[in-house]
């Protein structure tokens, strides 16, 4: 079975039928990784373009609720 090394921890991740763009999971470092190359198989973190984690900032607004007292 083909495998590739995790870019985060060098753990070998086995891929049954790898395709470009596939997302695979590394059990060792709990990372989601994207298949970016097939010959040889290369994995990389898929977090380059989408930065839609703005929700974390909203947690800082909770203090405003104190004004209702």
Q: Residues interacting with Zn ion, by CB under 5 A?
A: 6, 8-9, 11, 26, 28-29
Residue closer to Zn ion (CB basis): 9 or 20:
9
| Shortest distance, position 43 Cβ to Zn ion, whole Å | 9
| Shortest distance, position 59 Cβ to Zn ion, whole Å | 28
Residue closer to Zn ion (CB basis): 4 or 6:
6
Three-state secondary structure readout of the chain: CCEEECCCCCCEEECCCCCCCCEEEECCCCEEEEEEEECCEEEECCCCCCCCCCHHHHHHHHHHHHHHC
| Shortest distance, position 13 Cβ to Zn ion, whole Å | 7
């Amino acid at each position: 079975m083909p495998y590739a090394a995790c870019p985060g921890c060098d753990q070998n991740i086995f891929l049954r039928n790898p395709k470009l763009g596939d997302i695979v999971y590394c059990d060792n470092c709990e990372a989601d990784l994207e298949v970016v190359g097939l010959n040889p198989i290369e994995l990389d973190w898929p977090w380059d373009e989408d930065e839609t984690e703005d929700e974390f900032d909203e947690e800082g607004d909770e203090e405003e609720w104190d004004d209702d007292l």
